[in-house]
């Protein structure tokens, strides 16, 4: 099935009348400092983007099928608005078209990634107890819209914070697609966290998700809970007021919806979200709805912030 799915992805690009740019297959890796955790901003250009895929060329990810990538769209890198949104769910895929590289792709496989769209990318070189792949199986989905995370770091901990990114083929194998906006919810009966489809569509067996657990500073980043309130909602956004990002347009943020932080309440945000930076009037970062819809009161997000 994996080979069939990968063939479908490759064939879709070819039928779109798009050839693979030589730069994607032969360009040398961009310079980068490879550490336990690396983060950078990736922008879709005409030379790295093919239909619904933009191929990442970076030394922190090239040739590393087991790297763990987390991705969040960024409307205004460095505080400068590109004003280019990508309003469908995105995931990551490895070695598409034999590039030996990771790529960001639109999970509906039909909407082109807009040229100029930017994404914050976080890379962890290899899995650990805090960073791992969650795969939906018959034993952890229960036939519902979610897959249950079973970790000592999150079980019986309703205040645990995680970020999640769909991963089509961890390790470059066993590809599976989940075309939905995903979030997290805590189930009080099982005392476990779950990755779920915000539109409540069934969770496909075999779907994979990169998961990072943390609530304290780690490799320069800090995870916090952001809740949309009457005082911080601005149209489609909820303003993040935090010492790591306020007054710092170069801060790099990642977000994942949290349906019921602390195990109580429950507010869905079914559309894909991204981050942006308001230079004026607030000089703050924000989480926003990519389709421009109003931010729901009490919608909550786990946000990982790197100050630079």
Strand partners, 238: 233, 287
Q: Is residue 218 part of a domain?
A: no
- Are both 18 and 115 inside the same structural domain? yes
Q: Helices (H), strands (E): how many in the chain? A: 3, 20
Answer for the pair 183, 256: CB distance below 8 angstroms, yes or no: yes
Q: Residue 180: which domain range? A: 131-213
- Are both 140 and 119 inside the same structural domain? no
What Cα–Cα distance (Å) separates residue 263 from each residue in 140, 147, 289, 296? 19, 17, 23, 18
Helix (H) or strand (E) holding 122: strand 118-124
- Are both 10 and 116 inside the same structural domain? yes
Residue 256 falls in which region: left (phi positive, over 0), alpha (psi -120 to 50) or beta? beta
N- to C-terminal Cα separation, the chain: 41
Q: Which of 81, 106, 124 is the last residue of a domain?
A: 124
Q: Is residue 30 part of a domain?
A: no
DSSP 187: E
pLDDT digits (tens), the chain, 308 positions: 434 344 445 544 543 444 333 333 333 333 334 345 789 999 999 999 999 999 999 999 999 999 999 999 999 999 999 999 999 999 999 988 788 999 999 999 999 999 999 999 999 988 999 999 999 999 999 889 999 999 999 999 999 999 999 999 998 888 999 999 999 999 999 999 999 999 999 999 999 999 999 865 556 789 999 999 999 999 999 999 999 999 999 999 999 999 999 999 899 889 999 999 999 888 999 999 999 999 999 999 999 999 98
Q: Under DSSP, is residue 283 helix (H, G, I), strand (E, B) or coil?
A: coil
Q: Which of 213, 236, 265 is the last residue of a domain?
A: 213
- Tally of CB atoms within 10 A around 128: 12
Query: What is d(CA 76, CA 79) in angstroms, rounded to the nearest whole number?
Result: 5
Which distant-in-sequence residues (6+ apart) come within 8 Å of 171 by Cβ? 65, 66, 94
CA atoms within 13 A on the CB side of 170: 22
Q: Count of domains in the chain? A: 3
Query: What is d(CA 197, CA 89) in angstroms, rounded to the nearest whole number?
Result: 11
Which distant-in-sequence residues (6+ apart) come within 8 Å of 62 by Cβ? 29, 56, 100, 101, 102
DSSP 180: S
Q: Is residue 170 part of a domain?
A: yes
pLDDT at 14: 44
Helix (H) or strand (E) holding 10: helix 2-15
Answer for the pair 91, 166: CB distance below 8 angstroms, yes or no: yes
């Amino acid at each position: 099935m994996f080979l069939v799915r990968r063939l479908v992805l490759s064939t879709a690009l070819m039928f779109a009348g798009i050839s693979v740019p030589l730069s994607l297959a032969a360009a040398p890796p961009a310079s980068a400092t490879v550490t336990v955790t690396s983060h950078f901003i990736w922008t879709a250009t005409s030379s790295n983007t093919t239909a619904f895929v933009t191929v990442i060329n970076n030394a922190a990810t090239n040739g590393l099928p087991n790297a763990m990538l987390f991705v969040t769209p960024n409307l205004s890198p460095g505080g400068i608005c590109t004003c280019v949104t990508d309003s469908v769910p995105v995931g990551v895929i490895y070695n598409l078209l034999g590039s030996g590289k990771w790529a960001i792709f639109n999970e509906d496989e039909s909407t082109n990634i807009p040229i100029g769209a930017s994404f914050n990318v976080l890379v962890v070189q290899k899995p650990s107890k805090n960073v791992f792949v969650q795969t939906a199986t018959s034993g952890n989905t229960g036939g519902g819209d979610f897959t249950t995370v079973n970790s000592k770091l999150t079980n019986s901990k309703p205040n645990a914070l995680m970020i999640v990114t769909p991963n089509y083929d961890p390790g470059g194998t066993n590809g599976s697609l989940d075309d939905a906006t995903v979030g997290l919810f805590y189930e009080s009966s099982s005392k476990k966290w779950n990755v779920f489809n915000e539109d409540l569509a069934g969770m496909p067996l075999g779907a994979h998700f990169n998961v990072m657990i943390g609530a304290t500073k780690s490799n320069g980043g800090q995870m916090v809970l952001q809740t949309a309130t009457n005082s911080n909602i601005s149209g489609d956004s909820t303003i993040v007021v935090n010492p790591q990002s306020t007054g710092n347009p170069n801060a790099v943020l990642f977000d994942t919806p949290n349906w019921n932080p602390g195990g109580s309440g429950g507010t869905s945000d079914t559309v894909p979200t991204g981050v942006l930076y308001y230079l004026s009037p607030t000089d703050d970062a924000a989480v926003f709805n990519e389709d421009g819809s109003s931010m729901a009161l009490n919608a909550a997000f786990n946000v990982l912030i790197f100050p630079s």
